[in-house]
Chain A
Amino acid sequence: MPAVSKGDGMRGLAVFISDIRNCKSKEAEIKRINKELANIRSKFKGDKALDGYSKKKYVCKLLFIFLLGHDIDFGHMEAVNLLSSNRYTEKQIGYLFISVLVNSNSELIRLINNAIKNDLASRNPTFMGLALHCIANVGSREMAEAFAGEIPKILVAGDAMDGVKQSAALCLLRLYRTSPDLVPVGDWTSRVVHLLNDQHLGVVTAATSLITTLAQKNPEEFKTSVSLAVSRLSRIVTSASTDLQDYTYYFVPAPWLSVKLLRLLQCYPPPEDPAVRGRLTECLETVLNKAQEPPKSKKVQHSNAKNAVLFEAISLIIHHDSEPNLLVRACNQLGQFLQHRETNLRYLALESMCTLASSEFSHEAVKTHIETVINALKTERDVSVRQRAVDLLYAMCDRSSAQQIVAEMLSYLETADYSIREEIVLKVAILAEKYAVDYTWYVDTILNLIRIAGDYVSEEVWYRVIQIVINRDDVQGYAAKTVFEALQAPACHENLVKVGGYILGEFGNLIAGDPRSSPLIQFNLLHSKFHLCSVPTRALLLSTYIKFVNLFPEVKATIQDVLRGDSQLRNADVELQQRAVEYLRLSTVASTDILATVLEEMPPFPERESSILAKLKKKKGPNTVTDLEEAKRERSTDVNGAPEPAPASLSAVSTPSPSADLLGLGAAPPAPAGPPPSSGGLLVDVFSDSPSAVAPLAPGSEDNFARFVCKNNGVLFENQLLQIGLKSEFRQNLGRMFIFYGNKTSTQFLSFTPTLICSDDLQTNLSLQTKPVDPTVDGGAQVQQVVNIECVSDFTEAPVLNIQFRYGGTFQNVSVKLPITLNKFFQPTEMASQDFFQRWKQLSSPQQEVQNIFKAKHPMDTEITKAKIIGFGSALLEDVDPNPANFVGAGIIHTRTTQIGCLLRLEPNLQAQMYRLTLRTSKEAASRRLCALLSEQF
């Protein structure tokens, strides 16, 4: 086979590429490129008409320059000219340039479409192929409008070449994905289905992808594909390894086509026709049998291709979930892989078994592998494999294995990677609650969680243990005794202090009879932790103390003394001060009866879906956990005998925090349950897809949000229907933001309602004003909304922009974080080195400084860093830091109430690819927020 030599055909291109490769520095490269650009520009502008070859060569050079990462702002017309050349190589470069560089709303689109039209009509299969590939690569709406009618004809034409059919099928698929409304399912559909019978396996391969996508959306119209796919599959899997010649890959007949056919079948339930069903079962059995045969080759390609088909067959068996025999065989096969020497196979077996665990037919079979899975948790070197083992243990857990699995997960947690700790904590907490027969075990487990991984125990987890203890009186005494003992440890996690404080405040009386845990000892124990705790925990402990005043009159005087102390009554924190004052007063003026009423034991919490489960679902994405959980829940209604929480309840109120419930001081009002959230109610169930709920943040929203921290204009969000653009300006503590909503479709949006949502906390610090927009947005139109912004005081969260509208009968719901961040209210301040360091020293108390050391996420380029600091809003101070590699900045944040002076210093460490960022401001919360925002930028 003749090989292609380097850059043959275009010597000038090869020379240019060599030159670029020989450049010693970025500057030299840019210089060389600019020279070339000038040369090409002059050639394109010159009087002499260029021949096709030169045009091709220059266009190709421009493309190369673009791919190096430079902007190209000319040459498009020359590329379009190449499209009408009769030479393949010229046409190919023209189409390539257009596929890579031309964006869909270019003015050239009409010319391009014209050239494509000519090539499609040329009956020259090579030219038709180029044109189809261009449409498939660009896939713009304009192209869909122009060609969606034409391509099905090419696809089902009797005389089309095989290669053209392959390209046409996938081209149509691309247009269907971008603009489904423009690809109407028509009379060609039945003929497309029959492509599954085509002689040419390449055509079948391409057509199967198209049919699978169409069948997902229109299952009825493509129902006939099931029997055709089954018979095709059957012919492939029963063929000898040499029958399919070109399509046999390392002795495996047509592995990719088999996988695609098996995926197509997963769009449907098991076939109704017994003959088809029987044939399919035979196929699946054959695939399982082949896995047991000795390999035909030792090459990994052989086993990979064979196992690709096997795993897809197992997916189909699990999807049907109707043949116990096949399910058990699948499970046994995966069991063998669990011990395979290839990491890939062990990983995939764990993953696949996870779904098998939720089938009632194979649940028991999966359980037999428990020891192997536990072993994987201990020995696997790849963290992602261990993660799959955790997932599987979680999925296979039932009442009989819960104690063992929870114990193993807890012991793994001691050494687990930081990246997966929080998830393991959630899983352990859920399993412990779900399978607790004996609630003392549950309480022990959660306290162990806090001991082992206290930092990863989120509020949801410790709120939940308190709810359960309050709701079950059989465990209250045990809980009080256990937390009391756990608090004896010299160093205990703050979360334990919270749980301990709350539980002793409610149930400390249950153990007060024992002289070793008398009221005074309980109080002294808690109070010994008080000064090491954060403000919220101290607030909780103060509430515990006032509860003690009611429970144990004998310690009243001691507690009053503590409340009366300067560190309480004159505490700098308003919340603590207020609690101390009010509790002291309450303990002095109220009669015993009133005290007893006010400080009565907490009533039981209403049963609702575990907030921990909600958190896990949120973490893993609704599809992964919900389905499994829901499937399990349908089967086992007995869990715990306690009333099972309604699945995905619409009550939409997150669990109120117990620390807030105590006396209701400083408690946030419960969020309104129900539609529509106008403002305030951010606490909305994330799974509900009912129109009244706010959608979870769109994927990528966080990333987009971060991109706007240092800039004010750009595209905030874009999907197939809607584009949201932003333009904003800020001056001192005021700002104005223009939000542009673009309808990308040709259909009207109805009931178009954008809503700005701020939490209560944010509302007090940031004022937003806007007018509603017109509820109809015409196809292709753009509407604008103006938001007037005032920064009242420094703030941390960001508002959420929720957009709801109807599009062609479907309800659309999108939420994105709106990039209004504290740094927008920066005014830069210039100052000399001396001044800078003088102020720097003035702001040296520990609360004023926040520091973050982090790894560079982007190349460490000085100019980009400078631009980002300026974009962030502070002044960039040159010649201030003695180390010229460091960056320092200064500015003032303007709010309605105050001005906050800010100094920042960024120290890059090129060798370690790390940064150290230090923020000093006159306000701790502001330092913290600015540091967090800026750290995300490098």
Chain B
Amino acid sequence: MVWIRFILIQNRAGKTRLAKWYMQFDDDEKQKLIEEVHAVVTVRDAKHTNFVEFRNFKIIYRRYAGLYFCICVDVNDNNLAYLEAIHNFVEVLNEYFHNVCELDLVFNFYKVYTVVDEMFLAGEIRETSQTKVLKQLLMLQSLE
């Protein structure tokens, strides 16, 4: 059984900008995971792979400016598919927030959840077409 266990967006200082959990963890455990992921990912440089073994799972991550986008999946899942899923997600955020920056994610945290749910649900990839996702997001935006 293979699915995303969690998605994290963190900055270099370790502040969480999004945490989406697809598996039951208690609050202590979540905090611990957040700290561990930060510790594993921030020590790596461009010569390293975008994959790190993590407990019994692995983290697929990509850095955009000061932000780390991390997805935790099963060890035998497809690394490159998730690496590009991150990029696809970032391109959608970029389009939606018009040149997204860290502050957009802070002030619009409740909208970021909507974007995530359109693209990932129940730990699976739900929709991959940027056109379709953005069309839906704009429709929802118009309901405000």
Contacts and interface: CB of A to CB of B under 8 A. Distances in A.
A256 B81 contact: yes
Nearest to B50: A344
B51 interface: yes
B88 A707 contact: no
Contacts of B49: 343-344, 347, 382, 384-385
Contact of B121 (A87, A170, A312, A857): A170
Contact of A205 (B31, B109, B127, B136): B127
A7 B108 contact: yes
Interface string B21-63: 0001010100110010000000010011111110110000000
Interface in A426-476: none
Contacts of B139: 126
Contacts of A932: none
Contact of B78 (A67, A308, A703): A308
B85 interface: yes
Interface string A12-48: 0010010001000000000000000000000000000
A64 B106 CA distance: 9
A6 B129 contact: no
Given A3-B97, A126-B140, A621 B56 contact: yes
Give the one of B2, B84, B104, B111 with max A CB within 10 A: B84
Contacts of A133: 117, 121
Interface in B56-105: 56, 78-81, 83-85, 87-88, 95-99, 103-104
A205 B121 CA distance: 12
Nearest to A177: B1
Interface string B130-144: 111010101111011
B98 A17 contact: no
Contact of B81 (A2, A139, A312): A312
A133 B83 CA distance: 24
Interface residues of B, number: 66
B84 A304 contact: yes
A4 B80 contact: no
A841 interface: no
A934 interface: no
A246 interface: yes
A21 B15 CA distance: 12
Contacts of B48: 343, 381-382, 384
A167 B80 contact: no
B107 A202 contact: no
B2 A263 contact: yes
Give the one of A64, A216, A304, A707 with max B CB within 10 A: A304
Nearest to B125: A256
Interface string A298-313: 0001001101100110
B84 A17 contact: no
B71 to A, nearest CB: 13
Nearest to A624: B75
Given A4-B141, A301-B87, A308 B124 contact: no
A175 B67 CA distance: 33
B144 A311 contact: no
Nearest to A216: B1
A166 interface: yes
B127 A89 contact: no
A254 to B, nearest CB: 7
B53 A205 contact: no
B12 interface: no
B143 to A, nearest CB: 4
A7 B126 contact: no
B78 A312 contact: yes
B61 to A, nearest CB: 12
A173 to B, nearest CB: 5
A166 B127 contact: yes
A259 B78 contact: yes
Contacts of B122: 136, 139, 170-171, 173-174, 177, 209
A859 B32 CA distance: 11
B47 A202 contact: no
A384 B53 contact: yes
Contact of B106 (A21, A255, A259): A21
Contacts of B107: 6-7, 14, 17
A218 to B, nearest CB: 13
Contacts of A92: 110, 114, 140
Contacts of B138: 1-2
Given A206-B126, A263-B78, 7 more contacts: A163-B136, A167-B126, A249-B88, A256-B128, A344-B83, A347-B49, A703-B32
24 contacts: A1-B138, A63-B110, A167-B121, A170-B122, A170-B124, A170-B126, A174-B123, A206-B124, A206-B127, A209-B3, A209-B122, A213-B1, A247-B129, A256-B84, A256-B85, A263-B78, A305-B84, A308-B78, A344-B49, A344-B80, A348-B80, A382-B47, A384-B51, A621-B56
Interface of B: 1-3, 16, 19, 24, 26, 28, 31-32, 35, 44, 47-53, 55-56, 78-81, 83-85, 87-88, 95-99, 103-104, 106-111, 113-114, 117, 121-132, 134, 136, 138-141, 143-144
Which 4 interchain pairs have the tightest Cβ spacing?
Answer: A3-B98, A308-B80, A246-B129, A174-B122
